[in-house]
Amino acid sequence: MSTGNLHPQSAYIAQGPHLYGAGMKFDVMRLHVPEEDREIRQCLRAYTILPKYCETPDEKNEKAKEILESVWKIRDKLRAKHGRKWGYAWMEKIPYGATYSVVKDWMIGRASIPLIAIDSLRELGFEKETAEILENVEYVSSTTGDITKIPKGIDKDLAYLTGLILGDGSLPIKHESGGRNHRLIITSGDKKLIEKVALLIERIFEVTLGDAHYYSRKSGSSWNLYKGNKAIYRFFSKIVCLTNGNKAKNGKIPHTIKPLPDAEKVAFIAGLIDSDIGRHGRGMGCTFKSKKLVEDLLIFLGILGIEAKAYGSHYKDNKYLQHDFTIPKSQIKRLKELLVENYLPLKEDRLNTINMLTQG
């Protein structure tokens, strides 16, 4: 039996530059993945379309104007140094083929500028200016015209979604004849939960989701929330750093979540409660394929004052290794207090379970 690290705070010492609590901001360039983006048309872009090129301009276009005005200041300095060939000086630094006419479209606000093209301005001596431009990028787009808002940090709602995706979601890439289709998929047997989560995603990323698709399995019926969106896919996989690939076996709490304030930690746990953590013996818990996830949860909950336990491992169907994780009934009252104070699960049956276990 184990209750985790005796000094849990020491287990979550800051790891690297991508810790986004306490006002830290995301590095938007993590949305650019060179090993996948092999042509400039595959690269995600800072949304820089000016209002005059849109039928129904809105605040996104006004934000685009702010970004372009900052780029224009760099252009003017390049023009003063290189004359008419200023555009070629920039093009030489972009690690993809870019024509002068494309650069012209970027400059007049008719086409969005790839993030990598903006980042390339650093090599021309504009490190500070480029960093400021990228820090102010709020909307990104793909060549398909899909515009997505990129959050600046992890709030409670994003922490909740991260926990939910870790439990009942996936980030697959489907290879198609026209390229790669990057997806976010969340599956649940609770239709109401899927509807609530869809609204949450639409609000956070300012995108539109279609209706959840219903399908049946031998084990029962499920609802499937699906969004094909490269920016959202990379946001969770490259910025939040959710595990990709065999998530069930290799799952863990992302290092971006571990140092967050307690309120966001609780929201993350609420997401796991709405996916994996349900009634388990006399308390709440789950059996996970990932031993690392169980170890992380013991420490994570210990920081919040909850003594969770691991009761060993066993093989399911003599084939799949499972690791038991439990929040004992004696600890559910503390769990409920934290959830009520910070972030409640969205599934009614999970709330009913928590209330039942704290009665008497």
**CA-to-CA distance for 304 and 338, rounded, in angstroms?**
8
Nearest partner of 292 among 246, 225, 227, judged by Cα? 246
Residue 117: other Cβ atoms inside 10 A: 24
**CA-to-CA distance for 234 and 185, rounded, in angstroms?**
13
For residues 310 and 325, the answer to whether their CB atoms sit within 8 Å is yes
> Which pLDDT does position 317 carry in this prediction?
75
Q: Please report, in angstroms and rounded to a whole number, the separation of the first and last CA atoms in the chain.
A: 27
H-helix or E-strand spanning residue 357: helix 348-357
Domains of the chain in start order, with CATH, are 27-149 (no CATH), 156-357 (3.10.28.10)
> Which pLDDT does position 4 carry in this prediction?
38
Strand partners, 188: 223
pLDDT digits (tens, 9 = 90+) for 312-351: 888 877 778 889 999 999 999 999 999 999 999 999 999 9
Q: Please list the ranges in the chain whose pLDDT falls under 50.
A: 1-23
> Which pLDDT does position 47 carry in this prediction?
97
> Which pLDDT does position 269 carry in this prediction?
98
**Helix crossing, 191-205 with 156-168: angle to 10°?**
130
H-helix or E-strand spanning residue 276: none
**CA-to-CA distance for 332 and 338, rounded, in angstroms?**
10
pLDDT digits (tens, 9 = 90+) for 233-247: 999 999 999 987 666
Which residue is listed with tokens 């920039």? 90
**CA-to-CA distance for 123 and 103, rounded, in angstroms?**
17
- Helix/strand/coil for 148: strand
What's the Cα-to-Cα distance from 245 to each of 223, 242, 249, rounded to whole Å?
Answer: 22, 10, 9
> Which pLDDT does position 16 carry in this prediction?
37
Which residues lie below 8 Å from residue 217, measured CB to CB, with a gap of 6+? Answer: none
> Which pLDDT does position 266 carry in this prediction?
98
Strand partners, 45: 114, 141
> Which pLDDT does position 3 carry in this prediction?
37
Which residue is listed with tokens 């939910």? 164
Nearest partner of 232 among 181, 308, 163, 293, judged by Cα? 181
